[in-house]
Structure 1
Amino acid sequence: MDYIIFVSGAAFFGLGFILLLLLLYFKKKLTAPFVFMGIGVVLCFIGLIIAEPLTEEAFPNQTSTLDIRR
């Protein structure tokens, strides 16, 4: 689920970027590409937040690879 959200966010961002290039070429209004790119960034962050726990409390028995106290 988290991977699907991240990939859909990347797709929204890519679609917005391509749309931005096309609309810049044709000198049209640029609201839609930035909306698509903004939605893409938000979806990517949501996918990353869902994928990785933000604290070590989620897995208390797992040792961190960055633990200096070893």
Structure 2
Amino acid sequence: MVAGEYEELLGEDLWDNAGNADGLHEAITVARGLTDEEIRRAGELAGCLGEAEAMVGTVQKYR
């Protein structure tokens, strides 16, 4: 899935919550629908490998 598909799924613009904690909760919701490798690949593309690895650890608790 791409960001636009997640926005459609969630029914809102993912960027509307920039600067508040709601964005983090939505990021976790999105990441729960991805495999660990998809999260890592997204982190690689964004240049945020450490953050991606942290997200992998976070979503494992909620799957």
- Band of TM-score, shorter chain: 0.3 to 0.5
Q: Which has the larger radius of gyration?
A: 1
Question: Comparing both structures, which one devotes a greater share of its residues to helix?
Answer: 2
Q: Which has the higher contact order (CA 8 A, sep 6+)?
A: 1
Q: TM-score by structure 1 length? A: 0.30
